[in-house]
């Protein structure tokens, strides 16, 4: 039976024993004890590599890595575990798509639609491949609230559209576009859709098969897992046609000075020794993940963000950029620089993120130089909100003194 009980959930995270109020989870989530124990156990008792040696420890490691791949496929409702590729993170996943799939298929004059709310990791790879191929990046513009209009999207689509790159959820506002409609409209134009799920998967993993998603990428560290590990899901037929991006050991059948023969996907994209400890740790996270009622956890977390927004809205000069039903609260205080507030909050042991949040086009579209972002997770509580609000009030007293 899946449950969510706030106090018990919070106790799973040893980092919360520190005095800091952690409100920077959109950057990276805290790690549950079960992940820490799994990684420690691997380094303490095994440390064998995978996919090579025949001794029992190596075989055990290989099985653990493939079990994790199966768990990710199950999480995403992928039709096959072979559609799951291990990467270093969502950034590498998106660059892999750009440099393998896009670079080998795009021609001069082709178009790539990229929304204006994207994190730089889902913008820069497309700018690079456009320069390499002569393709053109088309901006899907946000409105004054940071939202995307499907009408505007349809105006961007054309017979030249080959790729649509879209975030499942903005890391600045928490806004989420209707991915299902985005995909259906793109497929009518025979374009493929790349979904950056770095933020969105934490709150609502998508069913990649049901939605007919072409590419779906995320980082483990935002889903309570380790840093340096990412996942790329892709349709089988797309992986089959994509050329090798980088080479080395473990990704080939034969090699000579005359050439090499690569293994099929996903192995052909996993050259070298993988992040074994990270994958084992993430497998433990996914085991734990299955025990939680995430619908209740999400409702609880949204309530915390709403509570913080309500309290801060009473302050003079407060402007919120939070989307409805979002766990992310980005805001500004009129005539107060975001960096000044961040420094004073840090001195009071409040961990938040500030600035352009690796989303310069969106920040510019919102008409600000930067924002303060408090991002909540189910391990936060009402006390965190009160401490955050009090610290912000203290900071404003200092910054507005004559």
Beta-carbon-side half-sphere exposure of residue 94 (alpha carbons within 13 Å): 29
Angle at 303 between CA 299 and CA 307, to 5 degrees: 175
Helices (H), 16-133: 33-45, 56-76, 90-96, 103-105, 124-133
**Coil, helix or strand for 224?**
coil
Q: Say what the pTM is.
A: 0.96
| Residue 3 vs residues 77, 99, 115, 163, 296: alpha-carbon distances, Å | 21, 42, 36, 40, 8
**Coil, helix or strand for 118?**
coil
Q: What share of the chain is helix, strand, coil (3-state, %, to 5)?
A: 45, 20, 40
pLDDT for 330 equals: 98
Torsion sign (Cα): 313, 315, 316, 322: negative
The continuous run of DSSP H or E covering 179 comes out as helix 179-188
Both structure tokens of 385: 């909100």
pLDDT for 363 equals: 98
Closest CA to 345 of 388, 313, 311: 388
Domains and CATH numbers, the chain: 6-28+293-399 (3.90.1150.10), 35-290 (3.40.640.10)
* DSSP labels, 338-387: HHHHHHHHHHTTEE-EEE-TT-HHHHHHTT-S-EEEEE--TT--HHHHHH
**Coil, helix or strand for 62?**
helix
pLDDT tens over the chain, length 402 residues: 899 999 999 999 999 999 999 999 999 999 999 999 999 999 999 888 888 888 888 899 989 999 999 999 999 999 999 999 999 999 999 999 999 999 999 999 999 999 999 999 999 999 999 999 999 999 999 998 899 999 999 999 999 999 999 999 999 999 999 999 999 999 999 999 999 999 999 999 999 999 999 999 999 999 999 999 999 999 999 999 999 999 999 899 999 999 999 999 999 999 999 999 999 999 999 999 999 999 999 999 999 999 999 999 999 999 999 999 999 999 999 999 999 999 999 999 999 999 999 999 999 999 999 999 999 999 999 999 999 999 999 999 999 986
pLDDT for 50 equals: 86
Pairwise CA distance, residues 92 & 358, whole Å: 16
| 358 is a catalytic site residue | yes
Closest CA to 353 of 323, 330, 383, 386: 330
C-beta contacts of 176-184 below 8 A and 24+ residues apart: 176/200, 176/204, 176/323, 177/115, 177/147, 177/148, 177/150, 178/150, 179/206, 179/211, 179/213, 180/211, 181/150, 182/150, 182/153, 183/211, 183/212, 183/213, 183/214, 184/212
pLDDT for 402 equals: 60
* DSSP labels, 249-289: TTSEEEEETTEEEEPPTTGGG--S---HHHHHHHHHHHHHH
* Residue 354 zone, left/alpha/beta (φ > 0; ψ -120 to 50; rest): beta
Pairwise CA distance, residues 261 & 204, whole Å: 39
Both structure tokens of 257: 């000075």
pLDDT for 56 equals: 84
Task: Determine how β-strand 136-140 pairs with β-strand 111-115.
Answer: parallel
Torsion sign (Cα): 381, 383, 384, 386: positive
Estimate to the nearest angstrom the gap between the alpha carbon of 319 and the chain centroid.
26
Residue in 234, 358, 365, 377 annotated catalytic:
358
């Amino acid at each position: 039976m899946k449950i969510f009980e706030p106090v018990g959930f919070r106790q799973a995270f040893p980092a919360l024993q520190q005095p800091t109020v952690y409100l920077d989870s959109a950057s990276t989530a805290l790690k549950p004890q079960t992940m820490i124990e799994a990684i420690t156990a691997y380094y303490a008792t095994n440390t064998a590599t995978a996919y090579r040696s025949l001794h029992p420890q190596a075989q055990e490691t290989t099985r653990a890595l493939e079990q994790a791949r199966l768990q990710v496929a199950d999480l995403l409702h992928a039709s096959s575990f072979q559609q799951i590729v291990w990467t270093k993170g969502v950034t590498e996943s998106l660059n892999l798509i750009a440099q393998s799939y896009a670079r080998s298929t795009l021609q001069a004059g082709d178009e790539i639609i990229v929304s204006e709310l994207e994190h730089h990791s889902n913008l820069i790879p497309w700018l690079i491949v456009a320069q390499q191929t002569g393709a053109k990046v088309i901006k899907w513009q946000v409105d004054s609230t940071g939202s995307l209009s499907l009408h505007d999207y349809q105006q961007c689509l054309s017979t030249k559209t080959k790729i649509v790159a879209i975030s499942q959820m903005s890391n600045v506002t928490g806004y989420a576009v209707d991915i299902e409609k985005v995909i259906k409209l793109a497929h009518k134009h025979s374009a493929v859709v790349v979904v950056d799920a770095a933020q969105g998967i934490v709150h609502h993993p998508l069913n990649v098969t049901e939605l007919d998603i072409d590419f779906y990428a995320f980082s483990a560290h935002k889903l309570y897992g380790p840093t340096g590990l990412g996942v790329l899901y892709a349709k089988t037929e797309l992986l089959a046609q994509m050329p090798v991006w980088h080479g080395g050991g473990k990704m080939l059948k034969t090699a000579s000075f005359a050439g090499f023969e690569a293994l099929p996907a996903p192995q052909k994209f996993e050259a070298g020794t993988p992040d074994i400890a990270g994958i084992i740790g993430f497998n433990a996270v996914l085991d734990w993940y299955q025990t939680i009622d995430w619908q209740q956890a999400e409702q609880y977390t949204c309530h915390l963000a709403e509570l913080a927004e309500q309290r801060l809205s009473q302050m003079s000069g407060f402007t919120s950029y939070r989307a409805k039903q979002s766990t992310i609260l980005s805001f500004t205080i009129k005539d107060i620089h975001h960096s000044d507030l961040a420094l004073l909050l840090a001195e009071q042991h409040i961990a938040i993120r500030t600035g352009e949040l690796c989303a310069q086009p969106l920040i510019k579209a919102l008409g600000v130089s930067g924002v303060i972002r408090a991002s909540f997770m189910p391990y936060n509580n009402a006390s965190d909100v009160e401490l955050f609000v009090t610290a912000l009030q203290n900071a404003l007293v200092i910054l507005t003194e004559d």
